[in-house]
Amino acid sequence: MPISLHHLRTGWAVCRDGAWAPLGHTLADLLAMPAARARLVVEAAAAHTTGELPLHDTRPPVDRQEIWAAGVTYRRSRDGRREESGHGPLYDHVYTGERPEIFFKSSPWRVVGDHDAVGIRSDSGWDVPEAEIGLVLNATGDVFGYTLGNDMSSRSIEGENPLYLPQAKIYDRSCAIGPAIVPHWSAGPGPFTIGLRVLRDGAEAYAATTTTAAMTRSFTDLAGWLFRALSFPDGVVLLTGTGVVPDADFTARPGDTIEIWCPELGLLTNRVVTVGRNLIGVDHG
């Protein structure tokens, strides 16, 4: 029976088959524990679930965890970066090199949850969602569980210059995760199918799926690089890259609805809004 962890206004809850119970611990508490002890805590709570989950809560399933991300972990992602930038050899090296691309994505207070709004920058003309599996890692770098992630990205800004990646990737409402955390022992070993669908004016504007079997790097390898010179006493979420990149003629628009799904992890749904402000007299298309 699948188990999931939800961040509610009343605290953290464990859900099993639609029934729920208070967890009695924060996510930071769990991720500071040894993995075996954290599992015992979750399973003890899951054994006493009763009733249905409260009304939908848009809180993302984090409390004190930063969100980091890996890039160019799928061939399609490499090809998309080459397409937008013209810097083919640079991204070829990232795709095949020993050291992966890992970057900071979001502070916990800036990330948004299921049914909240994600953003596209007002000074960008080409924007896409990136559907990803998020690793929920404990303080020692072990995988505690998984969640879905949306690494919203400005392809026009990053394509202009690779050094603009922070502006293309890190801004208000640029990161969504959810709807919950599924512990690794409940989700199964993978590989995981992950899908992306964009709805516009009631119709499907884009849809595609991929599988984590197509990744050039393993989850363990990515986690190991993140922890090489960084400590996360409250745990961390690491997005693992996307294998779904829309063609160059597609851009996300305000009013779109983005759906990211995985059979084992659920459905993450977000509407799109514009964030920020453009500079007077500057044309960004």
Q: Is 3.20.20.70 the CATH classification of the domain at 66-275?
A: no
CB 68 within 8 A of CB 236: yes
pLDDT band at 285 (very low <50, low <70, confident <90, very high): very low
Assess whether pLDDT exceeds 90 at residue 110: yes
pLDDT band at 243 (very low <50, low <70, confident <90, very high): confident
CB 74 within 8 A of CB 215: yes
User: What stretch of H or E contains 260?
Assistant: strand 257-262
Specify the pLDDT at position 35. Answer: 95
User: What stretch of H or E contains 209?
Assistant: strand 203-211
- Region 39-68: what's the mean pLDDT? 90
**Alpha-carbon dihedral angle through residues 3, 5, 9, 11, given to the nearest 10 degrees:** 100
Which is it for the CA torsion 18, 23, 28, 33, positive or negative?
negative
CB 183 within 8 A of CB 145: yes
- Region 211-231: what's the mean pLDDT? 95
Whether the predicted model's global pTM rises above the 0.85 cut: yes
Each domain of the chain, given as residue ranges in start order, spans: 3-52, 66-275
pLDDT band at 1 (very low <50, low <70, confident <90, very high): low
CB 12 within 8 A of CB 181: no
- Angle at which helix 88-96 crosses helix 75-85, to 10 degrees, equals 160
Specify the pLDDT at position 18. Answer: 86
Mean pLDDT over each residue of the chain, to the nearest integer = 91
Q: What burial class does residue 23 get, using C-beta atoms within 10 Å of its C-beta: 0-12 exposed, 13-18 middle, 19+ buried?
A: buried
Question: Which residues are within 8 A (CB) of 261 and not within 5 positions of it... i.e. 6 or more apart?
Answer: 148, 194, 195, 197, 267, 268
- Region 196-208: what's the mean pLDDT? 96
- For the ranges 58-62, 159-163, 207-211, 232-236, the lowest mean pLDDT is seen at 159-163
Specify the pLDDT at position 83. Answer: 65
Amino acid at 140: T
pLDDT in tens, 68-96: 999 888 866 666 665 665 655 776 777 77
- Bridge partners, 221 (sequence order): none
pLDDT in tens, 124-176: 999 999 999 999 999 999 999 999 999 999 989 988 888 899 999 999 999 99
Between 82 and 209, whose confidence is greater? 209
Q: What burial class does residue 275 get, using C-beta atoms within 10 Å of its C-beta: 0-12 exposed, 13-18 middle, 19+ buried?
A: middle
- For the ranges 62-76, 117-131, 177-191, 270-284, the lowest mean pLDDT is seen at 270-284
